[in-house]
Amino acid sequence: MPRGSRNVAAGQVVEDTIQPTPALSERTLAVSCSKFIAAWGSRAWPPIVHKVLPHRRPGTVGSAPRERRLPPRGATGACNVKITVVGAGKYGSTTAQRIAEKGFADEVVMTDVIEGLPQGLALDMSQSRPIERFETKVTGSNDYGPTAGSDIVIVTAGKPRKPGMSRMDLLTDNAKIVGGVAREVAATSPDAVVIVVSNPLDEMTALFQRVSGFPTERVMGQAGMLDTARLADKVAERLGVSPLDVDAITLGSHGDTMVPVPSRVRVQGKPLTELLPAGDIAQLIQATRDGGAEIVSLLKTGSAYYAPSAAAARMAEAIATDEGAIMPVCAWVAGQYGLSGVYLGVPARLGRRGVQEIVELDLTDSELKDLRAAAEAVRGKQADVDSLV
């Protein structure tokens, strides 16, 4: 099939399959950061930009002739970015791996309190580079020295849920952990953009910002990308279509007051409300709200990390490449949607300075009411986090 001739849904970034022909040099195939940024600077809706990465043959190592080798992975080329992942547990290590393999950062540093864990994982990840075709430097450390000067910090440190627990049950323990991390990050990477993922998400994001003293636009939380992906996947399963054909969004909190937005869900461009009866949509929305608990109850120890790490890595990519993509994140609202002074899941444009803009969607009256209820539910809890550190 000729390059560029595939049918692609609006808003998708598509990399053409890279053919290792002698005629195409590695230099020709590399897409520079600046070209990528120029291409994406003006992109707007839909919020989640799916990256369709066709299957690639594993790279050959050793004696393969030079012209037969595949170029490194990484659609954008590395962007002179250093990323630290705090917490090298399931979420943290998988996020580090995804970022390293995507190839947009020069360096990924993992740090954790468990001696040897981040170092061992970093060595293991590094040794996959010749096979998986990426060049990102991956290191691990038990202190913050090697993380100094990071451009992006992803905070995954903290306890995950056990079956029967709500995210709020983690509040006291994780507040102490995230508060300590915020002090270390403020001292060692004072200019970083921070993505918090530790739960309870909305409260931990607010707490990190308060303890670090960072401007609100440089501290955000990951939840909406994950909840949106869960909703899109459930809609796709229900209708028997590709998940890449579904555009969805969820707003609000990462908890009981999550606000999936059915009026904005499109399947192959058609409104979901025209494809399913209201009762079926309500079931999908409830399943999305319960999506994390469903996985926790199956795993029995620990919580989800494949989809969550994909969400955090995608946010980091949008920040690192300054692409201006709009995605649902936990961000500080200051007047948008008639709400102020609270961290809440809203669509935001991301770039190298963090949250560049909060985007106001047209919501139905009932969706707007739910979003306002979510804001009030988390506002009080966020105000209380100061007493926990």
Ligand X SMILES: NC(=O)c1ccc[n+]([C@@H]2O[C@H](COP(=O)([O-])OP(=O)(O)OC[C@H]3O[C@@H](n4cnc5c(N)ncnc54)[C@H](O)[C@@H]3O)[C@@H](O)[C@H]2O)c1
Residues that bind ligand X (CB under 6 A): 86-92, 111-114, 156-161, 170, 174, 177, 180-181, 197-199, 201, 222-223, 226, 254, 302-305, 308
**107-111 and 13-14 strand pairing:** unpaired
| The token pair that represents 42 in the structure block | 């003006």
Minimum CB–partner distance for residue 293 and ligand X (Å): 11
Q: How many CB atoms lie within 10 A of CB 262?
A: 21
Nearer to ligand X, 284 or 296 (CB): 296
Q: How many CB atoms lie within 10 A of CB 264?
A: 23
Nearer to ligand X, 113 or 363 (CB): 113
Distance CA 263, CA 250 (A): 11
Nearer to ligand X, 33 or 261 (CB): 261
Minimum CB–partner distance for residue 291 and ligand X (Å): 10
Please enumerate in sequence order all residues whose Cβ is within 8 A of that of 116, keeping only pairs 6 or more positions apart, or say none. Answer: none
Distance CA 227, CA 210 (A): 25
Minimum CB–partner distance for residue 15 and ligand X (Å): 27
Minimum CB–partner distance for residue 65 and ligand X (Å): 42
Positions marked active-site: 254
Nearer to ligand X, 304 or 319 (CB): 304
Nearer to ligand X, 11 or 302 (CB): 302
Distance CA 92, CA 141 (A): 13
Nearer to ligand X, 75 or 177 (CB): 177
Nearer to ligand X, 74 or 255 (CB): 255
Minimum CB–partner distance for residue 355 and ligand X (Å): 17
Does residue 172 come out as left (phi exceeding 0), alpha (psi in the -120 to 50 range) or beta?
A: alpha
Nearer to ligand X, 181 or 361 (CB): 181
